[in-house]
A = this chain, B = another copy of it.
Amino acid sequence: MTENLAKPDAARDDFDLANFLPFLLNQAAEESSLAFQHVYKNRYGMLRTEWRVLFHLGMYGRMTAKQIGVRAMIHKTKVSRAVQRLAERRFLTRTRDEADRRLEHLELTPAGEAAYRDLRGVARDYDARLARHFTSGEVALLRSMLRQLAGIR
């Protein structure tokens, strides 16, 4: 092997991508979501936005697409398409508001509730499994820092 090849073991400067917070956050988010993603995808054929919409309806009950979008910081286009797909699969019902006909109230069907409860259980276990690698104080700090970084507060 010639010697003018790069030595990929030593960075050429002091910048370390692996310590760059946006990069680290993305890697951690992707990796730590994989198995959960696998569950909602294979068990219910759901996409990322779909389980998020399902969870919002499951946690807070009936609300409009707009409300979901604002709370979950999801663009209305994505909410609209997620709602369509969830409605097709009979996970939720849409009811036109007669007082303000622009609004559509969304509500989980029994099937939707069942899926929500199932996935909620999976999520609880999943979260606990991730947290188990750290002390409870560390996890509390992590959540608080992430909330701050996300601007959720």
Majority-rule SS of A interface residues = helix
Given contacts A2-B99, A6-B62, A150-B28, contact A20 B133 (CB under 8 A): no
Which residues of chain A (117-153) have a CB below 8 Å from chain B? 120, 123-124, 126-127, 130-131, 133-134, 138, 141-143, 145-152
For A59, give its contact among B11, B24, B29 (CB under 8 Å). B11
Q: What is the minimal beta-carbon distance from A124 to any residue of chain B, in angstroms?
A: 7
Does residue A67 face the partner (Cβ distance < 8 Å to B)? Answer: yes
Do residues B134 and A17 form an inter-chain contact, with CB atoms below 8 A? no
Do residues A67 and B145 form an inter-chain contact, with CB atoms below 8 A? no
Give every chain B residue within 8 A of A28 (Cβ-Cβ): 25, 29, 146-147, 149-150
Do residues B148 and A5 form an inter-chain contact, with CB atoms below 8 A? no
Does residue A31 face the partner (Cβ distance < 8 Å to B)? Answer: yes
Given contacts A8-B67, A31-B150, A71-B8, contact A21 B60 (CB under 8 A): no
| Interface 0/1 of A104-128, CB less than 8 Å to B | 0100000000000000100110110
Identify 25 residue pairs between A and B in the complex whose beta-carbon atoms are under 8 Å apart, listed by A's number.
Answer: A5-B62, A6-B62, A11-B59, A15-B59, A15-B123, A17-B56, A20-B123, A21-B131, A21-B142, A21-B146, A22-B126, A24-B143, A25-B29, A25-B32, A25-B33, A26-B29, A27-B152, A28-B149, A28-B150, A30-B150, A32-B149, A130-B149, A134-B145, A141-B141, A141-B142
